[in-house]
Structure 1
Amino acid sequence: MSHNRRSVLGAALALPAALTAGGLAAAAPAAAAPGGVDAGAWTPLVLETGITPSAGATPEVRLVTIAGTTFLQARGIVTCNLATDAKIGRLPDGFTAPAGYVRAAAPRNNSQGVNACRFEINPSGSVSVFGGNAGNPITWVQFDSVQTVWR
């Protein structure tokens, strides 16, 4: 029997890997989540004056329901010049507003080490961005990372 630390450690690490590999080979595929997935259509946000969609990256939102939980997804990029917290748009007509505030972090221009801002939709359907100031204005915001529980 070897008391070499390297061989003992190798044997200890190999055992769980061998057990897992055997278990994975015999495992059945997972069943689909109850209720499945229902993804709504992408719908453009209605933007405020001075907020410009980037070419080929129109800001859009959709609702995705997975196993009974609804999530908001957003995508697109806007250019702007926001030196204060500001409303940048509203939800599209016919889009159900949230019951409460919905918030997420969104990438923005990297200035003074700040590279994210708060994306928020309020119960009236207004879409706002928070974090700009006179010394560090927000000049663009990307919404592709916005994915949050809706209801």
Structure 2
Amino acid sequence: MSQNRRSILAAALAVPAALTVATATPAAAAPAVAAAGGVEAGEWTDLVLEAGVTPTAGATPQVRLITIAGTAFLQARGQITGNFTADTRIGTLPAALTRPTWYVRATAARNNSQGINACRLDINPAGAVTVFGGNTGNAITWVQFDNVQAIWR
């Protein structure tokens, strides 16, 4: 098992270097990606939000899959606002995105209240996205997804 973690970590560490080269010299993008051990980044796609969940202006929640050395990772970005006083379904994955085979869990930044500044984000096999951790005494008023990354399959 530790051997698998090492290979995933090595591949993940190769990504910033590949992306830096690709950003600095667009013509060199293909060799940089190939050198990183096979990195494929999908297109960003908007998350389908539930009623009462509002995207922050200029930061519409989006997701994509990135495959590094044969392992798929989910990445998310953007921010939502609302008043979540219980575990709340906030949206659904876009139809074009492959559904996970099991629950995917990650931590997302939230409004800092009573010393709590993170919440749990779950995606179930049907594609429903749920935020956990809000309650009547400590409502979640915003959730930011820029740090959300999880192994997909």
Q: Shorter-chain TM-score category?
A: 0.7 to 0.9
Between the aligned partners of 1:95 and 1:73, the Cα distance in structure 2 is 12
**TM-score, structure 2 length as denominator?**
0.77
Matching of residues 6-85 of structure 1 within 5 Å: 32-34=35-37, 36-85=38-87
Unaligned runs of 5+ in 2: 1-33
Residue-pair matches, total: 120
1:104 aligned to 87, 103, 106, which one?
106
Instruction: Map Cα deviations across residues 45-91 of structure 1 (whole Å, 9 max, x no partner).
Output: 00000000000000000000011000000000000100000100000
Between the aligned partners of 1:47 and 1:98, the Cα distance in structure 2 is 18
- 1:126 deviation in Å? 0.1
Between the aligned partners of 2:110 and 2:152, the Cα distance in structure 1 is 23
Between the aligned partners of 1:48 and 1:73, the Cα distance in structure 2 is 20
Highest Rg: 1 or 2? 1
- 1:141 deviation in Å? 0.1
Between the aligned partners of 1:129 and 1:146, the Cα distance in structure 2 is 12
1:124 lines up with 2:129 in the alignment: no
Between the aligned partners of 2:96 and 2:68, the Cα distance in structure 1 is 21
Instruction: Map Cα deviations across residues 8-63 of structure 1 (whole Å, 9 max, x no partner).
Output: xxxxxxxxxxxxxxxxxxxxxxx9243x1100000000000000000000000000
Between the aligned partners of 2:51 and 2:130, the Cα distance in structure 1 is 13
Q: What SS class does the counterpart of residue 105 from structure 1 fall into?
A: strand
The amino acid of 1:144's aligned partner reads: D
- 1:124 deviation in Å? 0.5
**TM-score, structure 1 length as denominator?**
0.78
Give the match for residue 29 of structure 2: none
Give the match for residue 148 of structure 1: 150
Give the match for residue 22 of structure 1: none
Which protein is richer in helix relative to its size? Answer: 2
- 1:95 deviation in Å? 1.2
Between the aligned partners of 1:87 and 1:97, the Cα distance in structure 2 is 16
Unaligned runs of 5+ in 1: 1-30
**RMSD value, Cα:** 1.0
